[in-house]
Structure 1
Amino acid sequence: MGEGAIVVRRATAADARALLPLLAAHRGADEPDEKVDRYRERLEALVEHPAHRIVVAEAGGEVVGYAAAQDYGPAPHRDWSIARMHDLWVSPAARGRGAGTALFGAIRDWAEQHTRIRVLEWQSLDVATDFYRRLGLAGEHLDDEPRERYELSVHLPSRT
């Protein structure tokens, strides 16, 4: 696993291949979900899509984690939008070195700088609740899920 400082940057089409092993490892911890599979199959195109923000964490020149979010755009009754973070994952060998915090920060910065986004939301498995608590975030338990999942959101400052 790559050593050195963690560097977070926007993903490029060239990163899509490097992300495949990480996606597969993350997928192993997830239950089957056709929507998620289709999203990941389109990753190469999505890194360039203006409504998506995909960032990678590198250590020693090796991609060790990624985060992906999407701006859903404004609803007809409002001029602001909600963004959803689809994934935030760091290779187990790279955890504990700040990559997850840096990836979340990059997604939050993107959402805060994207003038239409006022809410960033996502779901988390219970295994990640301590990570989000360390960031000062607490989620709401989703009772209808077979596994422990939490809904989290961050309300961003309005720019009006």
Structure 2
Amino acid sequence: MTITIRPATPDDTATIMRFVRELAEFEREPEAVTATDAAMHAALFGAHPAAEAVIAAQDGVSVGMAVFFHNFSTWTGVRGLYLEDLYVTPAARGAGAGRALLQHLAGIALDRGCARFEWAVLDWNVRAIEFYRKVGAQPMDDWTTQRVTGEALRTLAGRG
């Protein structure tokens, strides 16, 4: 079985959204997905893309994806690559698609002069954490993610 990685195209929007919904199910938050196909299409392929995506295919069938974007480090003075979502269908796990996606993104990071390649993982996802350790990822245990959404975001902006 051959794994190939290619840039996503507008025709992949429905597949990407299916993968996003499957990932949300796996992460126990299916109701959290509010994105539509149209919103994802605009975010990835519109006039001002917010992110990029690549598709993993096994023998020509789409089995996974990675959605990523650039961030910036004031400490290094250069941008980094942030992996928002990595997903491989359950049937294709263990065949190398996840590693191929990460390897491809690491290559993009190097090609674009990025100093870092980062992502977050749920602390209960032991299988993913073990996989990430095997590819050389190190935990950032001293840091915690902070988030402001919904009404708290509106209040913080003085619009609540």
Cα distance in structure 2, aligned partners of 1:67 and 1:35? 19
1:47 Cα shift? 3.2
Change (3 A) 1:92 1:141: farther
Q: Structure 1: which amino acid aligns with 2:82?
A: R
TM-score (norm 1): 0.72
Aligned to 2:54: 55
Which ranges of structure 2 fall in alignment gaps of 5 or more residues? 146-160
Q: Structure 2: which amino acid aligns with 1:57?
A: A
1:53 Cα shift? 2.9
1:13 Cα shift? 0.8
Higher strand share: 1
Cα distance in structure 2, aligned partners of 1:61 and 1:11? 14
Aligned to 1:23: 20
Aligned to 2:129: 129
Cα distance in structure 2, aligned partners of 1:30 and 1:84? 19
Moved over 6 A (4+): 33-36, 142-145
Per-residue displacement from partner, 1:73-104 (whole Å, max 9, x unpaired)? 575x8741232110111001001111000001
Per-residue displacement from partner, 1:91-137 (whole Å, max 9, x unpaired)? 0100111100000111111111113x212211012331111111122
Which structure has the larger Rg over C-alpha atoms?
2
Farther-moved stretch of structure 1 (102-111 vs 47-56):
47-56
Aligned to 2:65: 66
Cα distance in structure 2, aligned partners of 1:123 and 1:56? 20
Over aligned residue pairs, what C-alpha RMSD do you find? 3.1
TM-score (norm 2): 0.72
1:50 Cα shift? 5.9
CA contact (8 A) 2:72 2:78 kept: yes
1:38 Cα shift? 4.3
Cα distance in structure 1, aligned partners of 2:72 and 2:33? 20
Aligned length: 140
1:43 aligns with 2:28: no
Q: Structure 2: which amino acid aligns with 1:89?
A: Y
In the alignment, which of 100, 109, 112 is matched to residue 110 of structure 2?
Answer: 112
